Structures are given as C-alpha cells and as structure tokens.
C-alpha cells in the first residue's frame, strides 16, 4: 500500500446521530452549526491534502446542484468557494448500485464492496482519500478499520432519533485528538487520528 490516508468528515449530534428523527432529510437543526466559522474553518482543512473524494450516491447527487454553483459564486464565503472548487475539480468515486452514468466530470461510479474498493484506491495515486460526508461509505470503512483520520463536528443538540454513526459491533480502536476548536454556538470541531 502507498501512504495514502483515508480521512472522513461528518457532523454528529450529542447523541451520535448524523440526522434527525425524520430521516436523512431531517438536517435542519444542524444548519446553524455547520455554517459557523469554526465549521467552515474545519471544512477548509479536510480537503487540503485530499486528491480523491469518495461519496455515496445520495450525497453525490445532492452535492452536484449545490456545490457546483458555489464554485462559481464570487460572493460566496471564500472557504465555501475553495472547498466547492476543489470538489468540482478533484477525482470523485461514487458508490452506487443504481446510477448508470456519472453525475459530475472526473467521476467514476463503482458498485462493489466499499472496503475492497478503498483498499484498492490506497494502492494507487497520491494524496488523501476523503470520505466526504457519506455515512453509507464511512460505516463499512470504520467496520474494516480503514479510516485514518476523522473530522467530526459535534453539535450541541440531541436529536432523539435518526441513524448513528458508531453502531455496536465496530472493532475496538484507539484514537488520539489531533485538533479541537469550540465555536460560539457550542459546536466542537474535532480531529481524531487513528493510533496504529
């Protein structure tokens, strides 16, 4: 394997959920926190060393409409625009069992075991592989102990329902806190590195 790191970013509530009880579209309570200065600064760091973005189908399709327009918006927050331009321009790997054509340029659709495909990505190229806000991809990689760095934005809400990132049955692993920052709204930008 090369030295490529597998990194991942996600926003989670105090009760460990990445959306509300209403399902994946129930993200409204997270919005004030994910648009804060601390969150935007963290977002600027997640892609700094990444050369490949890995996404699930739902996020890839949702990101297409939103981030493509931000990349061209001269009035957008420079941190948002920088991330958007990186996302549009970088290599993207989208996991899907239903897509037949790529939703973006520089995008490859894959339908196969997540861990196997990411192991293969680690053996080629350079730069980090960023699992980009895609729990459907992140969960099997955590289960296979393939994640090297976690960028978590922990927001001070309890959703009381919704899917959890850390499910029972994951392998026991140790992590070290590489960076932390607290925002004005009580959000915590945390960076954890896997201890190997």
The CB density around residue 153, as the number of other CB atoms within 10 Å, is 22
Q: What is the mean pLDDT of residues 118-129?
A: 94
With cut-offs at 50, 70 and 90, classify the pLDDT of residue 2.
low
pLDDT above 70 (res 142): yes
**Alpha-carbon distances, residue 173 vs 75, 162, 192, 195, 196 (angstroms):** 43, 24, 12, 8, 9
Q: What are phi and psi of 125, to 5 degrees?
A: 75, -170
Please give the share of the chain, as a percent, with pLDDT higher than 70. 99
In which residue are the tokens 């915590």 written?
188
Contact between residue 149 and residue 191 where contact means Cβ atoms under 8 Å apart: yes
Q: Quick one: which of 1, 22, 39, 16 has its CA closest to 142?
A: 16
Q: How confident is the model at residue 120 (pLDDT cuts 50, 70, 90)?
A: very high
**Beta-strand pair 149-155/6-13:** parallel
Residues 95/111, Cβ–Cβ less than 8 Å = yes
Chain CA centroid to CA 129, Å? 10
Per DSSP, 113 falls in state -
Mean pLDDT throughout 19-42? 92
Taking 80 as the threshold, does the pLDDT of residue 1 lie above it? no
Tokens coding 9: 């970013």
At 157-195, the pLDDT tens digits run 999 999 999 999 999 999 999 999 999 999 999 999 999
**107 has which bridge partners?**
92
Q: What is the pLDDT of residue 195?
A: 97
- Domains of the chain, CATH where assigned: 6-194 (3.40.430.10)
Tens digit of each residue's pLDDT (9 = 90 or more) over 49-84: 999 999 999 888 887 778 888 898 999 999 999 999
> Tokens standing for 70?
């931000």
Q: Please tell me the predicted confidence (pLDDT) of residue 69.
A: 85
Percent of the chain with pLDDT over 90: 83
- Residue at token pair 């922990």: 154
User: Mean pLDDT across the chain, nearest whole number?
Assistant: 93
> Using CA atoms, how far apart are residues 106 and 88, in angstroms rounded to an integer?
8
- Rounded to an integer, the average pLDDT of 17-30 is 91
């Amino acid at each position: 394997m090369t030295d490529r790191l597998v990194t991942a970013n996600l926003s989670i509530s105090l009760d460990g959920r990445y959306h509300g009880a209403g399902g994946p579209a129930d993200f409204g309570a997270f919005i004030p926190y994910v648009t804060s200065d601390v969150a935007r600064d963290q977002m600027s760091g997640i892609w700094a060393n990444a050369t490949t973005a890995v996404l699930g189908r739902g996020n890839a399709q949702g990101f297409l409409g939103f981030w493509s327009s931000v990349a061209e918006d001269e009035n957008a927050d420079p941190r948002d625009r920088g991330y958007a331009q990186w996302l549009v321009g970088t290599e993207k790997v989208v996991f899907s069992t239903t897509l037949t054509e790529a939703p973006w340029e520089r995008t490859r659709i894959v339908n196969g075991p997540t861990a196997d495909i990411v192991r293969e990505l680690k053996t080629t190229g350079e730069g980090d592989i960023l699992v980009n806000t895609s729990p459907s991809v992140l969960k099997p990689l955590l289960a296979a102990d393939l994640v090297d760095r976690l960028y978590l934005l922990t927001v001070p809400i309890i959703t009381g329902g919704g899917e959890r990132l850390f499910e029972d049955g994951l392998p026991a692993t140790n992590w070290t806190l590489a960076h932390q920052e607290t925002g004005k709204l009580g959000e915590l930008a945390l960076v954890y590195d896997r201890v190997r």
